[in-house]
Structure formats: C-alpha cells, structure tokens
C-alpha cells in the first residue's frame, strides 16, 4: 500500500528543458547560464539582488557573517523553528538566545522581543543580530518586530526558508530584514533538490556572499586567498530546476492553500481541531497544513493521532520542537517559551504536498475524522469554499 508523505517535490514540467540545456552545453558546474538566469528571475520576483547557494542553511551562515556575527556574540532567534535557523550562529562561534512565539501568528512575539532587548540594553550587552523566522509559510509581524530592532540598532536576518511566495502587507516574504534567506530543499514549496538564496537591498553584501560562496578566491590568475571562503554555490544543473519551479510558484501557493482550507472545512464540525491562524496582514502559503489538537475536546491526543495516521500509511509530524528544549542548546537562555512548548505539544503537520490528489486528501481527512471518533465524508468539493 502506498504511503502518503508530508511534503513532496512537484515538478512543473519545464525544469527538464533548462536541465537539458545544461547537459547539452556541458555547463555542469557552479557556473553557467541557468545560475545567472535563475538569480535574475528570482530578483525580478522579489525585487532584491540575490545569490543562489547550495542551501538555505548556507545562506543563513553567510548572512550572519555579513552582519558581523563572531565569537562571543549573541544572536536572538525564535525558539519555535527548525534547527537550521540557529545552527549557523554556532558555526560562527556565537551563541543563540531564544524567544517565545505568540498564538496569533506562531511566530516571534514582538512583546517578548521588546522586553528582551530592553533587558539586554540595561545590562549593556545587545545581541549582534536577530534571526526572524516566517514559520510554515506565514510572515512574522515584521513591521512591529523591525521597528523594535531599529530602536535598538539590532540588524535582522529574515529566515523565509519556509515562506517563499508569502506576503506581508503585499510585499514578498524575505525582503524585510537587512538580509533575507530562502530554501529550495526537497520538502519546500518549490525545490532545486537542495538549494537556497540570499537576498539583500545591499548589493555589495550580495556580491560579498557570492565571493565567499566560491571559496573566496581573490581576482588574478593564481589561487590566492585573503579571506576564508566556502563551497556554497548552487550548481548550474540545479539552477535549471529552480527556473522551472519558479514559473509554477504561484500555482503551488494556490494548491497548498487549497489543501489547508479543504482540511479546515472538512474538520469544521469536529471539536478540538483548528488550523494554524491566518494573520490578517498577509498571505499565508500554508506550506504545511498545521493544526492544533485539544485532546479533551478532540477525543485523542496529538501523538495518538500521529500514530493512528501512521498505521493508515499517512505521514504526519509534530510542530517543530522548540530549540530551548534541544539537548544541543541546553544552557542557552530563553525568554518565555511556554507558548512554543504548548504549540509543540498540540501541533500537528498534515500531508501538504501540492500534488496531493483529492482522493488522497479525502483519505487523510477521513483518517483524522476516524481519530476523533467521527464518521467519514463521502466526497470533497474540488474547490474549497474559502481560500482567503
Ligand atoms: C525555518 C528554516 N530555516 C532554514 C532552513 C534551512 O534550509 P535548507 O534545508 O535549504 O538548508 C529550513 C529548512 O530546511 C527551515 O525550515
């Protein structure tokens, strides 16, 4: 029996044309026309200079280095995120300090940020930077967060790895901080199998990141190095996949949102299950369809639901385990943390692939309904009633 997975790659069709061009012309390295074109097309989409890299994690690493993060520094980061948001802080010899989320967005709580910065300012040690994350396809409350950062002169890197295609007050996710990061990992809304992008209004920073990503080889004919570099550039073959994927990004956003709202409609009569909130200030891509389970009302716990879905060959996952609960980050300070812990305890991510058929969505829905002790639905509307 086939297994329904959480979030799968979904090709649009034209990727192969660009990849074939790379093969036909032997541009099979980290230079070539697809990379140049992918960066240009991505820049046209988000409106900022961008550099294509081997992963979103690499982009965060380079972005934090551009912000001057180094040994002895602290970097603020929401605790409710994937480890890649803060691991690069450690790569640079600095330490993360974690901050709680709010229930309205599941993202960094601006009030906690303000309290934490005020306290740090009083102690005379401000963080070198903030990593602000746009979780599961929804932007954090960026106006509030960045206004607070500006008042303390703390720069922000926006980790929009999960939020390509989302908007905040009609502007694209990833364009708000001093630097923005995107991921094309295989589970993301569009993919290059693995890859990332770093963007900034500061074109010189983007150029510097491009230089570092190619081993920081100084100009000239010899192999001379005056700065430490990395092998972080995207390949021309994968950039070809990215070009095809970018052409279907809006369709993928629509498809992922439709799944989330179809689930929401199908669970409307069930007590104790609610879709991740959709903040009024922007477009949430619902990269993953995340729900909160209230065990007493729903009839079983989040973990029991995951196990029963697993037995029915459906992959589902808990919401990210907060960073302050990770062994790796034991000892790091966390401001608050109770909201993130609660979201982690009750949150579930359901299958969200844009290629998920109506039939498979109905199967997932009925297995969730079964977990709640409710009867099956017989059919689904092709279009959910509300996707706004
Ligand atoms: C919030 C967040 N940040 C960063 C990353 C890292 O991206 P990548 O897997 O491309 O390195 C991911 C996903 O993997 C992510 O979910």
| 364 Cα: distance to centroid of ligand 1 (angstroms) | 26
Mean of pLDDT values over 174-193: 98
Length of the chain: 388
Q: Indicate if the pLDDT at residue 186 is higher than 70.
A: yes
pLDDT > 70 fraction of the chain, expressed in percent and rounded:
98
Mean of pLDDT values over 94-107: 98
pLDDT in tens, 112-151: 999 999 999 999 999 999 999 999 999 999 999 999 999 9
| 158 Cα: distance to centroid of ligand 1 (angstroms) | 12
Band (346; pLDDT cuts 50, 70, 90): very high
pLDDT score for 387 = 54
Cβ(55) to ligand 1 under 6 A? Answer: yes
pLDDT score for 385 = 57
Cβ(183) to ligand 1 under 6 A? Answer: yes
- CA 21 → CA 33, 37, 224, 235, 241, distances in Å? 9, 13, 33, 13, 11
Q: Indicate if the pLDDT at residue 386 is higher than 70.
A: no
Q: Indicate if the pLDDT at residue 89 is higher than 60.
A: yes
Cβ(185) to ligand 1 under 6 A? Answer: yes
| 185 Cα: distance to centroid of ligand 1 (angstroms) | 7
Cβ(234) to ligand 1 under 6 A? Answer: no
pLDDT score for 367 = 97
Atom of ligand 1 nearest to the CA of 60: 4
Q: Indicate if the pLDDT at residue 253 is higher than 70.
A: yes
Atom of ligand 1 nearest to the CA of 185: 10
- CA 83 → CA 46, 59, 90, 329, 339, distances in Å? 25, 14, 11, 10, 18
Kindly calculate the radius of gyration of the chain based on its CA atoms and give it in whole angstroms.
21
pLDDT in tens, 4-58: 999 999 999 899 999 999 999 999 999 999 999 999 999 999 999 999 999 999 9
CA distance 220 to 233: 20
Mean of pLDDT values over 244-270: 97
pLDDT score for 1 = 79
| 212 Cα: distance to centroid of ligand 1 (angstroms) | 20
Pocket test for ligand 1, best of 57, 287, 320 (most atoms within 8 A of CB): 57
Cβ(112) to ligand 1 under 6 A? Answer: no
Residue 244, token pair as written in the block: 């095809």
Question: Is-above-0.95 flag for pTM?
Answer: yes
* Residue 278, Ramachandran bin (φ over 0: left; ψ between -120 and 50: alpha; else beta): beta
Mean of pLDDT values over 152-162: 98
Nearest CA to ligand 1 atom 3: 85
Q: Indicate if the pLDDT at residue 388 is higher than 60.
A: no
- CA 174 → CA 85, 162, 281, distances in Å? 14, 10, 15
| 380 Cα: distance to centroid of ligand 1 (angstroms) | 33
Q: CA torsion angle for 53, 18, 12, 173 (degrees, to 10)?
A: 30
């Amino acid at each position: 029996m086939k297994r329904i997975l959480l979030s799968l790659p979904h090709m649009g069709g034209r990727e192969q044309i660009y990849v074939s061009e790379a093969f036909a012309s032997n541009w099979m390295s980290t230079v070539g026309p697809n990379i140049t074109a992918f960066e240009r097309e991505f820049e046209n989409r988000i409106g900022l200079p961008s550099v294509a890299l081997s992963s979103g994690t690499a982009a965060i690493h380079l972005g934090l280095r551009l912000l001057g993060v180094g040994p002895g520094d602290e970097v603020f980061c929401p605790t409710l995120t994937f480890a890649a948001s803060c691991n690069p802080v450690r790569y640079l010899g600095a330490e993360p300090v974690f901050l709680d989320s709010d229930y309205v967005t599941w993202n960094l709580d601006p009030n906690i940020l303000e309290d934490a910065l005020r306290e740090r300012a009083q102690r005379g040690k401000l963080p070198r930077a903030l990593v602000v994350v746009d979780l599961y396809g929804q932007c954090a409350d960026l106006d509030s967060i960045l206004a607070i950062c500006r008042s303390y002169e703390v720069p922000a890197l926006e980790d929009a790895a999960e939020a390509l295609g989302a908007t905040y007050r009609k502007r694209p996710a990833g364009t708000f901080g001093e630097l923005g990061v995107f991921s094309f990992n295989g589970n993301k809304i569009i993919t290059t199998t693995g890859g990332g992008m770093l963007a900034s209004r500061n074109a010189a920073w983007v150029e510097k990141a491009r230089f570092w990503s190619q081993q920081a080889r100084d100009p000239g004919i010899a192999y001379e190095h005056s700065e430490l570099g990395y092998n972080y550039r995207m390949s021309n073959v994968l950039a070809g996949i990215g070009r095809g994927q970018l052409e279907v990004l809006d369709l993928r956003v629509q498809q992922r949102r439709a799944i989330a709202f179809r689930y929401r409609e199908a669970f409307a009569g069930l007590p104790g299950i609610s879709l991740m909130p959709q903040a009024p200030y922007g477009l949430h891509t619902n990269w993953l369809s995340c729900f909160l389970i209230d065990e007493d009302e729903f009839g079983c716990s989040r973990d029991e639901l995951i196990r029963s879905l697993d037995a029915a060959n459906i992959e589902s996952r808990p919401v990210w385990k907060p960073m302050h609960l990770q062994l790796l980050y034991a000892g790091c300070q966390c401001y608050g943390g109770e909201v993130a812990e609660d979201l982690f305890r009750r949150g579930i991510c359901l299958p969200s692939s844009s290629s998920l058929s109506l039939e498979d969505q109905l199967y997932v829905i009925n297995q969730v309904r079964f977990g709640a002790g409710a009867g099956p639905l017989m059919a689904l509307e092709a279009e959910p009633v509300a996707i706004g």
